Amino acid sequence: MNNDRRKRISKAWLLIDQAEEILSQVLGEEEESYDNLLEGLQNGARGEQMQEYIETLGEVDDKIQEIKDDLDGILNR
């Protein structure tokens, strides 16, 4: 792979990393909000919805990490 394409992949990696940081912050805030709910609300529809968001954001974080690892593999060859 030529240097131009490597530089573009590196730029994409940095943007993905920034997105991961933002999503990680949102995940932390959502977890904190859920933890601060009264137990009755945690067990209700609102709490269940928040749990789904938390789970989905966690899955997205895992996928982003896989993508970054794959790109690292390209960049470090």
pTM, whole model, 2 decimals?
0.87
pLDDT tens per residue, range 20-75: 999 999 999 999 999 999 999 999 999 999 999 999 999 999 999 999 999 999 99
What does the radius of gyration of the chain's CA atoms come to, in whole angstroms? 17
31-41 as b/e, with b when 16 or more CB fall inside 10 Å?
Answer: beebeeeeeee
Which tokens is 22 given?
């933002």
In angstroms, the CA 21 to CA 27 distance is: 10
Question: What is the predicted pLDDT for the residue at 77?
Answer: 86
In angstroms, the CA 70 to CA 16 distance is: 12
